[in-house]
Amino acid sequence: MTKSILIFSHGELIGDGMMKLPFINALSTAFPDAEITWLSGRHPTIFASALAPLVQGKIHNIINHTKLGDSIGDVLFRRWKAVLPRDSYDIIINTDQHLLPTMMLKAIPHGMFISASLKWLLSDRKPPLTNGQTYYEKPVLLLNRLMDLLTAATQKKIDPIFHVDIPKNILSVAKKLLPKGKNVLLAPGAGGRFKCWPLQNFIDLGNRLHGDGINVGYILGPAETEWQSQLADGVKTAFFPLQETTEKSVFVTIALARLADLSIANDGGVGHILASSDSPIISMWGPTDPYKSTPNGKGVHVMYARDFGEAKMETLTVDLIYNQAKKMLESTK
């Protein structure tokens, strides 16, 4: 019986964390009796803060921002001993492919070591080849690479678990925040401003949707509250659900999207959160590649600027997004 599992990563922002969530769900289901420890190295992990509610009961220990894995001294002087709650682990899974963290993790006493580093050279197990493969082909999508680690550990095909269970009290909160009628949520923020659709476009789109009798709500995180007055001036009927509640759990954003008719978001953390609701969402991508980091969710429709011209957010015109929104809203009638 597997009693302890150590997972190493170099940290997660919101988007990374949401992409990894179906892996964590599947991991805890595959090993229901194991104590799972998440060790972050170079950067902090969002699982210790904003996304903590989503991994509660699935990750049992989070050892945050240790800065381990970047120095040969971490290997030579066994610096992990000062932070790890156990002397050894039944399974260690390395989600990073660089050499130094791989060497460090390999030196920690373990029953099984799983790592894709150096083409799985140091791993005790590899994922079985399938579909006539003669060699391992590294998946493009991050989630698929993580699932290969779990497949290697279990030696059987494990599917990611996408569904997010929202507490009933949070669903009640979200229901009260949404007006009666059709609701579309617009999320203008992203971790990098270069990934943001122009704010004026979000205003113009909001007005066009309102002209069709649709309620328009803007999802603003802490870094975007400065935009609220401009958006409110631009779209007189707009509502701002996250600013209208004292409930700050990430579940509120997911619940709002699940109850709304459509969400529209940039390539960013909030877009990944909205997509996890499994409700319809238009995910807008410009200079970054959606095929490496497509949000998890059954209702995701990617609009990639490169498919319409130059790979920048401005290529996605208001007309393009409005027409796609109308099409998706019509299909949900």
Query: What confidence tier does 2 reach under pLDDT thresholds 50, 70, 90?
Result: confident
pLDDT beyond 80 at 79? yes
pLDDT of residue 272: 97
Give the count of alpha carbons within 13 A of 161, CB side only: 14
Per-domain residue ranges of the chain = 4-154, 168-331
pLDDT of residue 219: 98
pLDDT of residue 333: 53
The amino acid present at 220, given as its one-letter code, is L
Over the chain, what is the mean pLDDT?
96
Query: What number does CATH give the domain 4-154?
Result: 3.40.50
pLDDT of residue 130: 79
Query: What confidence tier does 69 reach under pLDDT thresholds 50, 70, 90?
Result: very high
Calculate mean pLDDT across residues 80-107.
97
Range among 79-88, 133-142, 186-195 rated most confident: 79-88
Calculate mean pLDDT across residues 90-94.
98
Q: Residue 121 is encoded by which pair of tokens?
A: 């050279």
pLDDT beyond 80 at 332? no
Choose among 148, 262, 129, 130: nearest CA to 205: 262
Task: Specify the CATH number for 168-331; select among 3.60.15.10, 3.30.390.50, 3.40.50.2000, 3.30.450.20.
Answer: 3.40.50.2000
Choose among 259, 175, 270: nearest CA to 224: 270
- The span from the CA of 277 to the CA of 270, in Å, is 11
pLDDT digits (tens, 9 = 90+) for 306-324: 999 999 999 999 999 999 9
pLDDT of residue 258: 98
pLDDT digits (tens, 9 = 90+) for 240-291: 999 999 999 999 999 999 999 999 999 999 999 999 999 999 999 999 999 8
pLDDT digits (tens, 9 = 90+) for 210-237: 999 999 999 999 989 999 999 999 999 9
pLDDT digits (tens, 9 = 90+) for 6-61: 999 999 999 999 999 999 999 999 999 999 999 999 999 999 999 999 999 999 99
Choice between 130 and 159, residue whose per-residue pLDDT is larger:
159
pLDDT of residue 220: 97
Q: What angle do CA 93, 28, 275 make, to 5 degrees?
A: 100
Query: What confidence tier does 135 reach under pLDDT thresholds 50, 70, 90?
Result: confident
Q: 4-154 and 168-331: same fold?
A: yes
